[in-house]
Structure 1
């Protein structure tokens, strides 16, 4: 495929604002506005120091190495340019040209629709954008503007927190006896289709005004792109819409643009990571007909929103899963098309069935790991090389879904551990009679179930001490009052559950493992110190006694405890 073909495809996704523009009331107090961002040497210096020292220059011809390793005159010079730009509300035109390198997403390599445009912008522009982004995010955070249902591009939020938040809702709803309907929606080329005039309206509504709003208008307008394939370049073309994928400001601008979508759902609970949206509905089984009507009303509101704000949803790529209910096949429509029911879904890289079995995920992970390990085995001969590549490339694939480890069925957990057990046999030699435990010790490998415990306990620690779920606490500390015994501090309340489905969920399962830990581990607030102390304490021998696991050490290594 040539640069011309990619150029034609990428430019075909752009849109133009449809007039008249919608009216939008300001959601923030007019007395608290973000009108200017002061920049000085101390503001710029940390950003220039954190640059990767690359010799590859951007569209401005300046390699990052020059900025990072140059004298203090460079930050001072940039400081003057940045301040003049903000005061005048004009973004430098020389920084508006982006070089696009197509990046493959998934699917056949020869299908041009399986590529996304990643913009490479000048290094000076990226430093400028980072400074603006930090001030903008601090402003939005202080006013609580970005919804807690959004997990993308936000500090202390990620795919993992989105999965946890969603599964917390699902398992707690099932525990209460509710049925579930989950609507998964696909936004079509959302990042590239954001209309600029409407985006400026959204910026104004959250409190961005004055010269800074004018600066954003200049930043978005009259931008150009050039597609590069090897040494071949396409002709330049104007970018008429979108938030510039690959830019620094693009993600936060997109979050601002779609932030009001959450106000559409009063009955359903939305969960969003960037442009991936799902809405979960929990209801009593006897209230099916009323529930169908309410869900369709919210889908109609979503359709109206998409028409007003020119963000298209693709019904063909959307779908619905149900749990303990059977609505009619054509119950739900979007844009005049029936949303199909699905038995399995792929949600942010996690595959599961409509009854929340993760066997599909385990099967997929193991297939990818076998393929990658086969490649490593064919190319590399030294056992040490194979071991290091296994730890750096294969094991992370096995651990992708570690947060749902408690909800994995036993045969899935055993299948994952069996993969590493077979690998250790392969590295040591098939003639060896050593046990899996002995091979792990010889190769300095931990069993995967033990690594899952440590990874999940670290996540639990971050939730408690680093505010990962400050808007929706998954865990609750015991309130012992003034008479707390020394080893009872920092223990967690273990909620009562009616179903094993809820009992296996992360917050319940790992609260049980957290409380028996020594006080000096539970009380430490530093993540680094917590990891070090946990690593020292959580040996398989301690696990046998601490968690009352009645197995031999060899058995424990091969199968792990029943609950991780």
Structure 2
């Protein structure tokens, strides 16, 4: 490799993919570059080398969860919500600012990106190849069978390219530390989704709000310096706890306060009860479910189950560790989706003239179809996620959420202790992810808890009647 890229690899075909349900506005489309296969293969090789170098040099901030091994939207949301619930437990308030970066991937300055890569120790042929890869690129947009003229790409990392996510992360490695104007400020990032928040009580409220204001100003300064403009009109602030957030005004634009916000696909509300998210999840899942039954006329149960697992289950379980309901009425509400699915499937695949009198119970339907209840699946997902944290299989650190000590008594192999919950917001705190799993781990058999990795842990869990062991009533 001599730091050169064939010109044909730089000529990409761009397809517009809608980002939201409303596809009548041009801004709701994401440009995805379709690159040649040889280019993707070489990109993957270089990306892996770059990632290994960044990890070795410890330049990737712990606050970044995007496009990295052992990190995901789930790790980010679980960590953020833990901070917010802990503040509620301590009778504190939280102000969270969600920044909107306009077309961030498309506006990365090539020369500034290369200078940052060189600063992080990327030199020689790889740096030369990256410079050649980014320069003199051109694109043609395809819509249906119509093609645009060819346009030069003077900035941005091509969306859809294998190496682009890591290049964008490298462009923002310095941002978390830059925004931490005070120990009261916390930063969370998933690629270009950035939020900062401050937890405070009455004693340090003024200090926290000043620090938050300073961090917002630094975010605006950083975005201007590195050509990634913040759209203040779309950036919002959400107040969690008593009272309300103060007015923040920058560049003659006041940050809009909201009571709920979509954070990485999850509707987070200021009460942290996730009622709105649950309603949306159930509604969307039912819409997809009925669409499947309307348009797919097969009577084969295996085909219908595959479609259900592909299109409906992911909607019901995305990031469920962060928002899993604990009230019976909400548990039943989400379980209703799978009950409807099994009922319609039985009516179609196993017709009976005496239906519905002969319809088996929900438990019998699950057993025949070899499915588990949604409650069971969420409990297992909770346990596996937290086990991965305990086994250092994620970027999250177990010591933040639990105090651990081994035991040789009846409590089991490992006892996890969590902060005592105060009366304020007790139900939310008591039933939060790290509190409920700490109680559950004490009830699991020793041979399950002592599994060497999360795959074996899940396999051993699935051999058990987990809900009975944890004394959880199934729906």
TM-score normalized with structure 1 length: 0.77
Q: Give RMSD over aligned pairs.
A: 2.2
3-state DSSP of counterpart to 1:537: coil
Higher mean Cα deviation, 456-465 or 487-496?
Answer: 487-496
Distance 2:358 2:191 in 1: 49
3-state DSSP of counterpart to 1:478: strand
| 1:75-154 to 2 correspondences below 5 Å | 83=1, 85=2, 89-154=3-68
Aligned length: 459
Shift of 1:493: 3.0
Shift of 1:445: 2.0
The counterpart of 1:447, out of the listed 373, 376, 379, is 373
| 1:460 is aligned to 2:386 | yes
Correspondence for 2:121:
207
Q: Relative to 1, partners in 2 of residues 1:219 and 1:503: Cα closer, same or farther, differing over 3 Å?
A: same
Correspondence for 2:361:
435
Correspondence for 2:352:
none
| 1:30-109 to 2 correspondences below 5 Å | 83=1, 85=2, 89-109=3-23
| 1:417 is aligned to 2:417 | no
Correspondence for 1:281:
198
Higher mean Cα deviation, 173-182 or 280-289?
Answer: 280-289
Distance 2:104 2:34 in 1: 19
8 Å contact kept, 1:487–1:519: no
Shift of 1:109: 2.1
From the two aligned structures, give the one with the greater strand fraction.
2
| 1:248 is aligned to 2:162 | yes
3-state DSSP of counterpart to 1:108: coil
Distance 1:294 1:476 in 2: 28
| 1:116-515 to 2 correspondences below 5 Å | 116-263=30-177, 264-265=179-180, 266=182, 267-327=184-244, 331-381=247-297, 382=299, 384=301, 385-406=303-324, 408-429=326-347, 430-432=356-358, 434-471=360-397, 473-476=399-402, 478-480=404-406, 484=408, 488-498=412-422, 499-515=426-442
Distance 1:477 1:355 in 2: 27
Distance 1:402 1:532 in 2: 20
Distance 1:426 1:212 in 2: 56
3-state DSSP of counterpart to 1:127: helix
Distance 1:188 1:410 in 2: 41
Shift of 1:511: 1.6
Q: Which has the larger radius of gyration?
A: 1
Distance 1:487 1:548 in 2: 15
Highest relative contact order (Cα 8 Å, sep 6+), 1 or 2? Answer: 2
Distance 1:369 1:245 in 2: 29
In structure 1, the gaps of 5 or more residues are 1-82, 550-555, 559-564
Correspondence for 1:72:
none
The counterpart of 2:456, out of the listed 516, 525, 529, is 529
TM-score normalized with structure 2 length: 0.90
Distance 1:203 1:348 in 2: 28
Distance 1:500 1:144 in 2: 39
8 Å contact kept, 1:303–1:335: no
8 Å contact kept, 1:270–1:278: yes
Shift of 1:142: 1.1
| 1:547 is aligned to 2:461 | no
Distance 2:269 2:12 in 1: 41
Shift of 1:332: 0.7
In structure 2, the gaps of 5 or more residues are 348-355
Shift of 1:290: 3.5
8 Å contact kept, 1:464–1:475: no
Shift of 1:292: 2.7
Distance 2:398 2:158 in 1: 31
